[in-house]
Structure 1
Amino acid sequence: MIGGPAASAPTALVEEVRRRLADDAGGLTPHRVAEALRAAGRPVGDATVLAVYESLRRDVLGAGPLEDLVRRPGVTDVLVNGPGPVYVDRGTGPEPTDVHLPDEAGVRRLAQRLVSSGGRRLDDAAPYADVRLPDGTRCHAVLAPLARPGTAISLRVPRRGGFTLDELLTAGTLCPETRRWLAGVVERRLAFLVTGGTGSGKTTLLAALLGAVPPEERLVVVEDATELRPDHPHVVGLEARPANLEGAGAVVLRDLVRQALRMRPDRLVVGEVRDAAVVELLAAMNTGHDGGCGTLHANAPADVPARIEALALAAGLAREAAHSQLGAALDVVVHLSRDRAGRRWVSQLGTVTRDAAGLVRVVPAAHVDATGGVTFGPGADALAELVG
């Protein structure tokens, strides 16, 4: 009987066994690995068989050689930059690991298997893909030579259980003042957007805010790829679907927002506003669906009207109409920052007003520095009135 921990098998030996197993149909078993080793004239000791078997098994199950990294506590991202060391982010920036991918062929094969497990294809005709894996991990991959120095894989690992507002306060994402203001935003059913750059924690914060929604309210969450996992008893999630290999069957975010409006939501949530779905979101916020919210990529709260305007124009909504609906729909903008050390925190809050031309502006209400110090802006009184 084969037992005990397996050592790492030489890459050349694993590849030789892989080629021999590919020539004959059958499942991956230690017995078949031993037969392939004998046929190749290689040693067939228990330790060698188990090492080769484990290497092949990791390559065909779960996240393959990345599986252990995905499961490590505190890891938020696993990053592959072609052959070589794999990096992880625990919230303080990328750091190298002891996992090393030896060649481009192996990285490409891993990327293709991960993407296929999410129901998409990845090849020279479709050289990039963004999918959700069965365990909820979000996988993005780009094949070489589009990606240099080799095939790139990015895994965004969802936190099991999510955060509460109090946990974000303890972690330093919130200070006591922002904790109180955000609780007021949820309690008063204000419409809000969480903004920030990539990796700033927008989804994490939005999930925590949704977790603070009263349990008797029904949340309908619309996303391109499921990432929001609020700790709430009544959540219905709708996820967009890409086209199949024949180019048919796509379901886009805009269609799902329309469906969500027919599902009696108490609060409509769009996980990330990035396309023409902004038109439906604005319409929903203006038809009695208080407390609507979502996330938006923006460098600062002041940039939000321009971003919304650009998305709405692409969907055929005139500038004046976009600003009119935005001004009537949106109450508060919550902005997250991330410093070079990887620390994330709510750095700004803004309120919404209109200028003499009827265009929407986001007025700074509070600025929070990295130490939790608060500086109030011209929108502070409006924020105080909104949150009570």
Structure 2
Amino acid sequence: MIDRFVAVPSFASRGAPFDAPPPPQSAARPSVERLALAAEFGPLARLVAAPEVTDVFVNGGEQVWVDRGDGLERADIGPLTAAESRDLAVRLVALGGRHVDEATPCIDVRLDGGVRVHAVLAPVAPSGALLSIRLPQDRRLDLDTLAAAGMFDRDPAKLDRLVRAVGARTNLLISGAGGSGKTTLLAALLGAAAPDERIVTIEDVAELRIDHPHVVGLQTRQANVEGAGDLGLDRLLRESLRMRPDRLVLGECRGAEVREMLAALNTGHDGGAGTLHANSLDDVPARLEALGALAGMSTAALARQAVSGIGLVLHVEREGGVRRVAAVGRLALADDARLVVRRESW
């Protein structure tokens, strides 16, 4: 692991000024790709086509909710019937190359343009089919754009520090709650990697949209109707090591694959990165220990591997409509050899 910082040119000096406000939502226009995809969403088409919408939720065919960047609100469209919500779920999942039925009632799928759909059918969802639709920005957000939107508290020194960490090939872990901006920040940071580096991403459902000339992505595969042929994150991580990655990226660490990821970061694969669900920076050690337990790792083994393999932890929070890096720290061993995180000034 390399955790030193090296001097690199400031990103803020090459794009929009740091104090420039983000472009107003009213000025946004949906892309041709988004408009074409919206037609597949039937009664939800108008919501999906709106460029300011980030999430749409169908609650069992009774209610439709939408997030336009300022939190959830009831959508101004009529409710879907139970049959309509189920048919829509089946069609969208099939569009992404997967299947959802009574035998496989819960599924996650990626559509064109990075749109992510999670579906749950009855009887697992007693009120009817549930749909959670995540709509990414039509354009890829770089570090300058995130800075202007407040991700780094409009402080050039904070952005420069993270750019230097990427340049130094520091292994990064980004934590936060769902919808806090972990994936968006990860993609923007990876876009700052040297153009001659090969980035290999491993995701359950492909979401990362990285503005970089050499990105190769792997995505898990669900089992077929006979229950065979599934490929999980742990298997894909092992396969990726044979692809000569300069930067190995795990879109989200959520299970036993933490063992393979930490093993890779401890065997010469510097510059790696990933995300982790956690309520706060202080909760990251406990989350890692829980995932390590799923992989059969002892707390001592997990702690030593994590301290050696992860150079910097960034915790992202969403406050109102603003997503920001709220805390930064480094993993360390306590006196009793348990994993802890040491907060750093930010």
For the superposition of Structure 1 and Structure 2, which TM-score range results when normalised by the shorter chain?
A: 0.7 to 0.9
TM-score, normalised to structure 2, is: 0.84
Give the 5 Å matches for 1:138-217: 138-147=116-125, 149-175=127-153, 176=155, 177-217=157-197
Aligned to 1:362: 341
Aligned residue in 2 for 1:291: 271
Verify the 8 A CA contact 1:178 1:346 in the aligned structure 2.
Answer: no
Question: Which aligned pairs between 1:222-301 and structure 2 lie closer than 5 A?
Answer: 222-301=202-281
Larger Rg: 1
Q: Which residue of 2 aligns with 1:329?
A: 309
Structure 1 residue runs of 4+, over 6 Å off?
none
Q: Quote the Cα distance in structure 2 between the aligned partners of 1:120 and 1:351.
A: 39
Match of 1:71 among 43, 49, 57: 49
In structure 2, the residue corresponding to 1:111 is in which secondary structure?
Answer: helix
Given that residues 79 and 153 in structure 1 are in contact (C-alpha distance below 8 angstroms), is that contact kept between their aligned partners in structure 2? Answer: yes
Question: What are the superposed Cα offsets for residues 17-58 of structure 1, whole Å, 9 maximum, x if unpaired?
Answer: xxxxxxxxxxxxxxxxxxxxxxxxxxxxxxxxxxxxxxxxx9
Aligned length: 309
Q: Which amino acid aligns with 1:346?
A: V
Question: 1:28 matched to which residue of 2?
Answer: none
**Aligned counterparts of 2:285 and 2:152: Cα–Cα separation in 1:** 25
In 2, Cα distance between equivalents of 1:283 and 1:140: 30
8 A contact 2:173–2:314 mirrored in 1: yes
Pair 1:317 & 2:280 matched: no
C-alpha separation between the residues in 1 aligned to 2:218 and 2:241?
12
Alpha carbons 2:170, 2:271 under 8 Å: kept: yes
CA distance in 2, matches of 1:246, 1:116: 17
Q: Distance in 1 between matches of 2:261 and 2:158?
A: 25
C-alpha distance in 2, partners of 1:148/1:92?
29
Once residues 190 and 62 of structure 2 are traced to their aligned partners in structure 1, the CA distance between those partners, rounded to angstroms, is 40
Counterpart of 1:305 in 2: which secondary structure? helix
Alignment TM-score, normalising by the size of structure 1:
0.75
Q: Which runs of 5+ in 2 are unaligned?
A: 1-35
Amino acid of the residue matched to residue 137 of structure 1?
A: V
Is this contact kept in 1: 2:61–2:130, CA < 8 A?
no
Aligned to 2:110: 132
Whether the 8 Å CA contact 1:192–1:291 is kept in 2: the answer is yes
Quote how far apart the aligned CAs of 1:144 are.
3.4
Aligned to 1:54: none
Structure 1 residue 116 and structure 2 residue 100: aligned? no
Q: Letter of the aligned partner of 1:161 in structure 2? A: R
- Per-residue deviation, residues 72-119 of structure 1 (Å, max 9, x unmatched): 112211111133452221221112333223421111111121122223
Asked if the contact 1:337/1:346 (under 8 Å) is kept, the reply is yes
Question: What is the deviation of 1:145?
Answer: 4.4
Q: How far 1:192 moved relative to its partner?
A: 1.2
Displacement, 1:67? 2.5
Q: Which amino acid aligns with 2:160?
A: R
Could you tell me whether the CA contact under 8 Å between 2:51 and 2:138 is conserved in 1? no
Say whether the 8 Å CA contact 1:161–1:231 is kept in structure 2: no
Instruction: State the match for 1:44 in structure 2.
Output: none
Counterpart-to-counterpart distance in 1, 2:228 and 2:127:
33
Separation in structure 2 between the aligned mates of residue 132 and residue 98 of structure 1, nearest angstrom? 26
SS at match of 2:87: helix
Task: Give the Å deviation of 1:251.
Answer: 0.6
SS in 2 for 1:105: helix
Contact 1:85 1:98 in 2 (8 A): no
Q: Give percent identity, aligned residues only.
A: 50
Residue of 92, 95, 99 corresponding to 2:73: 95
**1:135 CA displacement:** 4.2
Query: How far apart in 2 are the matches of 1:135 and 1:352?
Result: 35
What is the SS of the residue equivalent to 2:345? strand
Determine the structure 2 residue equivalent to 1:107: 85
- Aligned-pair CA distance for 1:288: 1.0
Q: 2:200, 2:248 within 8 Å by CA — same for their partners in 1? A: yes
Q: Is the 2:93–2:117 Cα contact (8 Å) retained in structure 1?
A: yes
Structure 2 letter corresponding to 1:178: K
**Contact 2:62/2:82, CA 8 A, preserved across alignment:** no
**What secondary structure is seen at the aligned counterpart in 2 of 1:349?**
strand
Cα distance, 1:313 vs. partner?
Answer: 1.8
Q: 2:328 maps to which residue?
A: 349
Q: How many Å apart are 1:324 and its aligned residue?
A: 1.1
